[in-house]
Amino acid sequence: MAHDLEQTAKALVAEGKGILAADESDGTIKKRFDSIGVESTEDNRRAYRELLFRTEGAEEFISGVILFDETIRQSAGDGTPFPKLLESRGVIPGIKVDKGAKPLANAEGETITEGLDGLRDRLNEYRELGARFTKWRATYSIGSGLPSEYCVWVNAHALARYAALSQEAGLVPIVEPEVLMDGDHSIERSFEVTSRVQHAVFTELRDQRVEPEGMLLKPNMVLAGYDSGGEASPDEVAKWTLKCLSRHVPAAVPGIVFLSGGQTDETATANLNAMNASGPHPWQLSFSYGRALQAPALKAWGGKAESVEDAQKAYYRRAKFNGAARTGSYAPDMETAGV
Ligand code: 13P
């Protein structure tokens, strides 16, 4: 079992490849569809996900896809269940298993991610449905006195409980502690908070006997707050992010798959590229992007069947550029060249 987990974790961060996060919850996908004026019906959600999963050649750069509960139970137009469709292309299906961030009691402005009750049974069902890995996201806001140690440690505890159950079920946990980048904080403050969060997460993971070889970490990059009035350069982002990771993430963890967290698609690619260009590092540095892989495709699609091909081209481009960023061989001028 441990060997299987390690093999899957390694396959998810295979050279030149990363993960597509297509696990938007009902509320989040509605927001995305609202932005293009498309109604969030079950069939529109199905059609949009099928467009992504059927993109010819994306599997050269995409090792796995994170699905939402509804999506893992849906099928393509020809009746093939989505997990089977992905597997047939050599793409590993995964599943978001948390039930979202809810207000944390006695902690104004902070959240705790729910979903532990009944998780063992849900994991076994997802495995039956074809999932080979899972994801759980905790969020932390930076503000005056935030995040509290209380919020940092309860979320770390829940992340580790989830990760242990996931490994027990033979599923690779993707542990996602996301420090949100909303606010006017400096990159140094972002470094300080991300360090505290990762310290707590790896302490709990160790205490709860999670095997580092059979998991992946999905962290935020260390950025200046989006309202700070100045975007840090890719080299600066790489410097602070790597300093944080090298202090807190055991070399036994096979890979780190960043979230994009509201960066533009091009910035997310450039920042990942800068980190890999300064390698080698103890772990693979890869991506598990939602918005940064999908934004141009969503816009190109606009809910129209005749635009599916354009949307697939847009998605393929981002997958390819992020694939290049895995080896530090991305250059911004690729954005204006044809693919
Ligand atoms: P973004 O890349 O859009 O931040 O989404 C990744 C994700 O899975 C968040 O949980």
The residue to which tokens 């074809």 are assigned: 130
The verdict on whether 320 is a catalytic residue reads: no
Q: What integer is the mean pLDDT of 203-216?
A: 98
Closest approach atom of ligand 1 to CA 292: 2
Residues 104-162 have pLDDT tens digits of 999 999 999 999 999 999 999 999 999 999 999 999 999 999 999 999 999 999 999 99
Q: Best mutation site among 288, 294, 298 for ligand 1, i.e. most ligand atoms within 8 A of its Cβ? A: 288
Q: CB burial class (10 A; 0-12, 13-18, 19+) of residue 189? A: middle
How many A from CA of 260 to the centre of ligand 1? 6
Query: 332: CA distance to ligand 1 center in Å?
Result: 22
- For residues 29 and 23, give the distance between their C-alpha atoms in angstroms, rounded to a whole number: 9
Cβ-based neighbours of 328, under 8 Å, separated by 6 or more = 273, 274, 276, 277, 278, 279
Return the residue whose CA atom lies nearest to atom 10 of ligand 1: 137
Q: Which two tokens stand for residue 66?
A: 């994170």
Q: What is the pLDDT of residues 14-50, one digit of tens each?
A: 999 999 999 999 999 999 999 999 999 999 999 999 9
Q: What is the pLDDT of residues 269-314, one digit of tens each?
A: 999 999 999 999 999 999 999 999 999 999 999 999 999 999 999 9
pLDDT of residue 339 exceeding 70: no
- Whether 176 is catalytic: yes
Distance CA 87, CA 328 (A): 28
What is the whole-number distance in angstroms between the Cα of residue 97 and the centre of ligand 1? Answer: 14
Q: Please give the number of the atom of ligand 1 that sits closest to the Cα of 293.
A: 2
Distance from the CA of 288 to the center of ligand 1, in angstroms? 7
| Residues 213-254: tens digit of each pLDDT | 999 999 999 999 999 998 999 999 999 999 999 999 999 999
- Name the active-site residue from 24, 110, 176, 204: 176
Which tens digits make up the pLDDT trace of 52-65?
999 999 999 999 99
pLDDT at 338: 67
Nearest to 302 by CA among 71, 68, 48, 101: 48
Atom 1 (ligand 1) nearest CA: 290
**Cα separation of 292 and 143, whole Å?**
25
pLDDT given for residue 58 in this prediction:
98
pLDDT average, residue stretch 175-187: 98
Q: Does residue 244 contact residue 191 with C-beta atoms inside 8 Å?
A: yes
Q: Which atom of ligand 1 is nearest to the CA of 268?
A: 2
Residue nearest to atom 5 of ligand 1 (CA): 290
pLDDT computed for residue 3 by the predictor: 84
Q: pTM here?
A: 0.98
* pLDDT for position 303: 98
Residues whose CB is less than 8 angstroms from the CB of residue 41 and which lie 6 or more positions away in sequence, other chains included: none
Ligand 1 binding residues, C-beta < 6 A: 21, 137, 176, 259-261, 289-292
What distance in angstroms lies between residue 63's CA and the mean position of ligand 1's atoms? 16
Residue 90 has pLDDT above 80, yes or no: yes
The answer to whether 122 and 134 have CB atoms below 8 angstroms apart is no
Whole-number pLDDT of residue 21: 98
Q: Which of 96, 135, 218, 320 is catalytic?
A: 218
> d(Cα 314, Cα 308) in Å, to the nearest integer?
10
Q: What is the pLDDT of residue 1?
A: 63
